[in-house]
Structure 1
Amino acid sequence: MGAQLVKEAASKTNDVAGDGTTTATLLAQSIINAGFKNVTAGANPMILKIGMEKGVEAVVAEIKRMAKTVKDTDVAK
């Protein structure tokens, strides 16, 4: 199950961004490992899921806040 999730994360990253598969693989594996560790220690999987979703929302909002619009000519610089 974990290996399939990591494979899907890398594939989706490659499809969307064309790069970053190593980063996506490492992040996905770290999240899976931490999740298994916490569930084994007695954490509620649904609470972990909700926490991860809130974390994703916060990170996406911050990236959008920091994003800068560029012209096509600026991208090449």
Structure 2
Amino acid sequence: MTLFDKIKYLKELLNEPCQNYSDTFKSDIILFFEDDFTINNIQFHFLKKNISKLEIEDWLNNLLSQFVLKFNPEEETENDFISFFL
């Protein structure tokens, strides 16, 4: 997969309808990427690795799970929390 394909796939995953509580954090992730889903956005550096669609899904699911389990808005911002996972 090219970087463009990986970014496009991640965007598709983030734009899927919410099915559970953890999915509500997808909008925070979109905001983190400044709604700039292009190869020029340096925040997608983690997708430059040779990773598959399944690994992208796993990364997103892990991040969403961590939001539910560990995110504390009194101690950190959503952006700080996401940055930790990149």
Q: Same fold (TM over 0.5)?
A: no
- Which structure has the highest helix share of the two? 1
TM score, norm. by length of structure 2: 0.34
TM score, norm. by length of structure 1: 0.37
Greater relative contact order: 1 or 2 (C-alpha under 8 angstroms, separation 6 or more)? 2
